[in-house]
């Protein structure tokens, strides 16, 4: 399949509005003409027409994947997916818009969205209706940075972006301050130049990828508290498009034309649990270091780390071990495009099982970390709580850099900054700051 060219396009603005009854009548008339007459479809037609009018001759991202637009917080017009497709198709089939279908690479899950744009016929319609002279437009592009999704099981090896159902929530002092901090971060990132550079055999550099018009959010997971109140205390990771790059590709990222360095938060999740329980990180070196006593050899660190995380997210040792086995040895029909490191870790895990069972390894982990044993084998809710501890720590470092107008990129628990900011990054990473929005 030939790849669609990535042409700049405006995102679909679900918040644009017009309060004039004449505009409503214009839309009803056009809906009758193109056979978009049902109330739900006409509402979707209104949202689309508003977007095409606001974008002029520019393209609009008009996704065709079966993904709901969300609750009122994210979708104030209440537009449904099926009605949206009906309205979009009506405009297309009647010659008012043109469209270029996107594509999705099933191996990398990279791709571009479907885009549409107004044809001369639609622009003439706007002129005839004198929309440009209407004073009742509200073009405010509201962007929600603090998202809440339903609680669903994830597959680590499934690279697809899930069609999460976004849920509404009641704003709190925390969500308001967090939204403000995320808005400031997005503004700084979008003012910065973020590029991936490639170099040919002759040493000539060129841009292989550039990141623009970003909308980075923190997405929390729904878990009700004991009182039934929904709290933004679970999950909360921030996904960015550079998360899909390999570690080798990320070495070629430049920020504002400058070379960068990537540093990881070592043992971030478990150290955040120790911080919650004891006020400081694990006190005896690497929390994932274990040895075969009889052999005097180290147990593969990645195996220890992964089983520790599985024990944070499952209710029984058996379930944690099954999850670990599935992680390292996916099903036979699995399309194995893992990195060489992942395959090396799998081989080390399988060799480990010749000397010690995963269940025995789990018991060793419990013995090593007795100080925090109440966090183990409590299920996904506790695992998502720990993930939020970690995500808060990551975001606090982002927030401190943003306050100094220094762009920083994150890949889950690692940070990418210009080389000149390495010392500052190392200092902030070492201090184990919890999130502070003051």
Angle between helix 358-368 and 317-328 (nearest 10): 120
pLDDT over 60 (residue 400):
yes
Q: Into how many domains does the chain fold?
A: 2
Q: Is the same domain home to 218 and 258?
A: yes
Domain that holds residue 41: 9-138
Q: Give residue-wise pLDDT tens across range 338-355.
A: 778 888 989 999 999 988
Residue 381: the pLDDT is: 92
Residue 118 has pLDDT above 90, yes or no: yes
pTM of full prediction above 0.85: no
Indicate if 161 and 112 belong to the same structural domain. Answer: no
Instruction: Flag whether pLDDT at 207 surpasses 90.
Output: no
Does residue 380 sit in the same domain as residue 416? yes
- Tens of pLDDT along 132-171? 877 888 876 667 899 898 887 655 545 444 556 788 888 8
Label residue 3 by pLDDT band (50, 70, 90): very low
Residue 227 falls inside a structural domain: yes
Higher-confidence residue of 144 and 383: namely 383
126 and 261 in a common domain: no
Q: Could you tell me if residue 241 is inside a domain?
A: yes
User: What whole-number distance in Å separates Cα of residue 351 and Cα of residue 354?
Assistant: 6
Q: Are strands 115-118 and 59-61 parallel, antiparallel or unpaired?
A: antiparallel
CATH code (residue 55): 1.10.10
Q: 247 with 385, same domain?
A: yes
Q: Residue 214 — very low, low, confident or very high, per pLDDT cuts 50/70/90?
A: confident
Does residue 165 lie in a domain region? yes
Pairing of strands 218-221, 146-149: parallel
Domain final position from 94, 110, 138: 138
Most confident among 110-114, 286-290, 332-336 (mean pLDDT): 286-290
For residue 157, the model assigns a pLDDT of 44
- The reply to whether 351 falls in a domain is no
Q: Is residue 205 scored above 90 in pLDDT?
A: no
Joined tokens for residue 88:
């979009």
Residue 228 lies in a domain: yes
What is the pLDDT at residue 4?
Answer: 44
DSSP 161: P
Q: How confident is the model at residue 2 (pLDDT cuts 50, 70, 90)?
A: very low
Domain boundary among the residues 107, 138, 169 is at: 138
Kindly report, residue by residue over 49-62, the tens digit of the pLDDT: 999 998 988 999 89
88 and 167 share a domain? no
For residue 348, tell me if it sits in a domain: no
Gap between the Cα atoms of 410 and 242, Å rounded? 8
Per-residue pLDDT at 142? 66
User: Is 311 inside a domain boundary?
Assistant: no
Same domain for 41 and 99: yes
| pLDDT reported for residue 276 | 87
Give the per-residue pLDDT at 159.
46
**∠79-54-193 over CA atoms, to 5°?**
100
Q: 25, 19, 330: which is closest to 157 by C-alpha?
A: 330
In a domain, 261, yes or no: yes
Q: Are residues 43 and 180 in the same domain?
A: no
Q: Are 238 and 163 contained in the same domain?
A: yes
> Among the three residues 121, 138, 155, which one is the final residue of a domain in this structure?
138
- Out of 195-199, 309-313, 320-324, pick the least confident: 195-199
**What does the pLDDT look like over 119-139, one tens digit per residue?**
999 999 999 999 987 788 887
The verdict on 130 and 178 lying in the same domain is no
Task: Tell me the C-alpha distance between 404 and 107, whole Å.
Answer: 39
pLDDT tens for 234-268 read 999 999 999 988 888 999 999 999 999 999 988 88
What is the sign, positive or negative, of the torsion defined by CA atoms of 161, 406, 221, 413? positive
Give the pLDDT score at 404. 95
- Whether residues 132 and 150 fall in one domain: no
Residues 126 and 157 in one domain: no
């Amino acid at each position: 399949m030939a790849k669609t060219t990535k042409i700049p396009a405006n995102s679909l603005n679900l918040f644009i509005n017009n309060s004039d009854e004449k505009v409503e009548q214009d839309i009803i008339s056009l809906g009758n003409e193109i056979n978009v007459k049902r109330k739900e479809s006409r509402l979707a037609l209104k949202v689309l027409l508003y977007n095409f009018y606001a974008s002029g001759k520019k393209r609009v991202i008009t996704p065709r994947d079966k993904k709901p637009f969300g609750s009122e917080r994210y979708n104030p017009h209440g537009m449904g997916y099926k009605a949206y497709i009906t309205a979009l198709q009506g405009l297309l089939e009647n010659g008012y818009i043109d469209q270029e279908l996107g594509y999705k690479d099933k191996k990398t899950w990279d791709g571009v969205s479907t885009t549409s744009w107004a044809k001369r016929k639609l622009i003439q319609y706007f002129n005839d209706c004198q929309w440009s002279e209407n004073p009742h437009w509200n073009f405010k592009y509201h962007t929600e940075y603090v998202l809440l999704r339903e609680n669903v099981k994830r597959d680590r090896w499934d690279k697809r972006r899930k069609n999460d159902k976004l849920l509404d929530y009641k704003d709190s002092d925390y969500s308001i301050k967090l939204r403000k901090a995320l808005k400031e971060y997005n503004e700084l990132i979008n003012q910065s130049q973020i590029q991936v550079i490639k170099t040919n055999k002759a040493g000539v550099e060129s841009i292989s990828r550039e990141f623009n018009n970003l909308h980075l959010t923190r997405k929390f997971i729904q878990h009700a508290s004991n009182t039934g109140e929904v709290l933004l205390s679970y999950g909360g990771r921030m996904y960015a498009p550079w998360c899909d790059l390999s570690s080798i590709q990320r070495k070629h990222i430049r920020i504002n034309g400058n070379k960068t360095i990537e540093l990881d938060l070592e043992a971030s999740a478990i150290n955040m649990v120790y911080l919650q329980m004891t006020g400081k990180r694990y006190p005896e070196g690497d929390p994932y270091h274990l040895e075969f006593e009889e052999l005097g050899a180290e147990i593969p660190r990645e195996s220890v780390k992964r089983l520790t995380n599985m024990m944070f997210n499952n209710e029984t040792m058996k379930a944690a071990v099954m999850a670990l086995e599935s992680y390292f040895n996916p099903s036979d029909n699995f399309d194995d495009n893992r990195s060489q490191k992942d395959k090396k870790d799998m081989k080390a895990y399988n060799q480990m099982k010749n000397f010690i069972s995963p269940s025995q390894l789990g018991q060793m982990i419990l013995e090593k970390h007795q100080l925090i044993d109440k966090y183990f084998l409590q299920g996904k809710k506790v695992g998502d709580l720990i993930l939020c501890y970690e995500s808060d720590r990551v975001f606090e470092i982002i927030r401190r850099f943003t306050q100094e107008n220094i762009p920083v990129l994150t890949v889950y628990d690692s940070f990418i900054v210009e080389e000149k900011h390495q010392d500052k990054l190392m200092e902030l990473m070492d201090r184990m700051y919890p999130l502070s929005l003051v």
